[in-house]
Structure 1
Amino acid sequence: MRVIDLRGQDLSWAQLRAAVPRQTPQSLNQAEATVRAIIEDVQARGPAALREYAGRFDRVEQDRIKVDAAAIQDAVHQLDPAVRHGLESAIARCRAFAAAQRPADAEVEVAPGAKLVHRWTPVARVGLYVPGGLAVYPSSVVMNVVPAQAAGVDSVVLCTPPQAEFGGLPHPTILAAAGLLGVDEVWAIGGAQALAAMAHGVSDPDHGDTLEAVQTITGPGNIFVATAKRLLRSVVGVDAEAGTTEIAVIADHTAQADYVAADLISQAEHDPDAGSVLITHQPDVADRVAAAVARMAPQARHAERIKTALEGPQSGVILTESLDASIQAADAYAAEHLEIHTDNAWEVAARVRNAGAIFVGPYSPVPLGDYAAGSNHVLPTGGSAVHAQGLCTTSFMKAVQVIEYTQEALGALQTDIVALAEAENLPNHGVAVTVRAAAATGGEG
């Protein structure tokens, strides 16, 4: 891992943001023409287009696109008991945390007779995407479905690619996770075409199936899925255009080198472009962690992938002047996952402003959050944690502002409203108030 020595430098915020390691972002523009054509094709040809893409991208000759409810239940019954136990444990903890995130409505009387309400309401129908490919992500089913259900969403649909290995059905572990969560509407559709189908809706008259359009779409995916989200933002709400995973670790002399090394390696095994960053003000800590990485990484199952990630420009060791400077560097990096391996770790964590999720202490590794902690693993990447947050219950809710004024309360603001309306050259805004005052006094409107 390369070393970035920030000691002895007085960097501005912008300079610090530029100095920390960063993944080279994939250009969504490169995929835009392809994805735009797919979206338009799905709109125009519906199920015929979806079956064509299933053959082209998934090597599946598809008949019925919607997954029969019986297949979902079969997958639940055939699920490995250990995997089922793990999923059920994760679901229970995620439900507890998601329920606690549900916000209360707020009501205030700003003046006598002037009532304002900030009312939270769930989105009516959401679409969740779970990718296929070489990996299987039942944990992503949990992370997307649970907060939607906690928000009170009426209707949830899940799209995931068909698999030739399983006769054109999605991976059975994905189906089983959906079944355990009570999701009975699953469509075997992958990629950008899945997002197009959920955003615009698709009818398959040959089988009497209809995928009703959704209002919000969430879930991870490749560059084509991210591009589809960008292009469909004017049609539906979407979560973040997620990038490759990343981890940063703030460490001092109390850190166990093997723990830190294992955690850096665990994220590097995701992808050759994954980012693993160590931040420390103590060079001997950096040396101990580097030695542990050098010993452990070559023995890992995905050693070549890990080596590429750790040696890439997106990874490295940041040396700082002090713990305060390490916290500043971590804020500038704004990691998707941030671990704190320091003395008084909770106090350090409380000072961090920018991170998708913070893992405090030696026994809170990132994989805990990936699977079973109860937190959500759909988190902002690429430094976007300076302004974005992870998926949570409110991701599937929206606030409605409700206003009620009495006649007297409106009358008390008549002069102010008329003055502001005239200042903006919108006099009829003022008339909408004065007509009521005139009616109240028996005058003409």
Structure 2
Amino acid sequence: MKEQIVEKIRNAGVVGAGGAGLPTHVKANATVDTVLVNGASCEPLLSSDPHLMETEIDTMIRGLHAVMDCTGASKGIICLKGKHAAAMASVREAVSRDTTGRLEAFELKDFYPAGDEHVLVHEVLGKTVPEGGIPLAIGAVVSNVETFCNIAAAMDDKPVTHRYLTVTGEVGQHMVVKVPVGTMVADVLAHAGGATISDYKVVDGGPMMGRVLPDTARPVTKTTSGLIVLPPDHTVVARKIMDPDRVRRITTSICCQCTHCTDLCPRNLLGHSLHPHKLMRIFDGLMSDELIVETAKEALLCSECGVCEKFACPMMVSPREVNAQIKKIMRQQGVRWESDGSEPVTNPFRSDRFVPTSRLIQRLNLTKYDTHPAYAGEFVPDRVTIPLAQHIGAPAQCRVAVGETVSAGDLIGEIPEKAMGARVHASINGTVESVADGMVVIRSC
């Protein structure tokens, strides 16, 4: 059974829908005690996961059971915040109906980043993932809500062709919408009534960890969770688009070593050896001093959640950006985190240092966009641009040619031999218009 389930997930091109896009068949091939459904939806403003838990709970649970059967897990725990009352009621009712006795619902507190894998595991299981490790190290697998829905479809041999996403900010209509993978951001925004301001930027993902798109001529991918339209000078956008060298110069010169970034760092609070305030003062000697290099390795433990940058720092500088730059250098040099094997000791003040989502939204100046938008149905454009690389690992190899007629669900990109990757499928019926620069363009018939 395990091999069959893993193969179906692989064939369907399922990747983690809530993060960087790890091919899900890799996770499913593990053996664990517990499977966690990450419904924390901890990034402010994003609403698609609560919508799916409310309206597609049976589909999600079917996907959860498939992963439990595949991994040999005896327990599946569906985790979400109590503030999503309708979704919580749907989950509790579905768990009560489940005849296997293997499912539980867990109500999370409303703080950021409750959806971080390490944080979620500690909250739900009371265990700490080792430094530099993954939940598998403590016998757990974590995936997000939409991933489990896609796994359920994969059991029926239906590949990933669509994506649910939140559209909010300065747009005519805030909404949760289902779109084919490859739909252009410009088309999604037009469907949402267009931007309400003339000069704007679009954040792909959440306001904390999302990235600012260079323009709207970019496609929605399997990992696109939201599109947030904001002014270029908005606090969420401004730091993300500033030149990294300038960010570093400002950050390292202004930092007053108050330690607030370390005091509120979610990974430090779990007992991990990450001290952002120390990393702030070492960058200039990073390339020459061996002692500094040892300290710099701590950056490899950073999840780049942004708490230090957007909430903790009274000087409004960016430990996150410094950590990211140091991490990049460490990886380029082939440096890896080497744990000493000791058990992380949770900070005794951890629960008192949670960042409430409501306060974070205020700090980010996003209150007027916190509208909990309703589902607006499915939008189907007349053309899609599908990237062959939408995931961690090797890009898919194109399997179609210009002029070829395809149907939604047809394979257009295959995993390279002996590589980690994910299949890619057509998301609409149509004709292949072009294949170039790692993109397959399909125009509907």
Q: What is the TM-score with the length of structure 1 in the denominator?
A: 0.23
Give 1 or 2 for the bigger CA radius of gyration: 1
TM-score between both structures, scaled by the size of structure 2: 0.23
Higher share of residues assigned helix:
1
Q: Which has the higher contact order (CA 8 A, sep 6+)?
A: 1
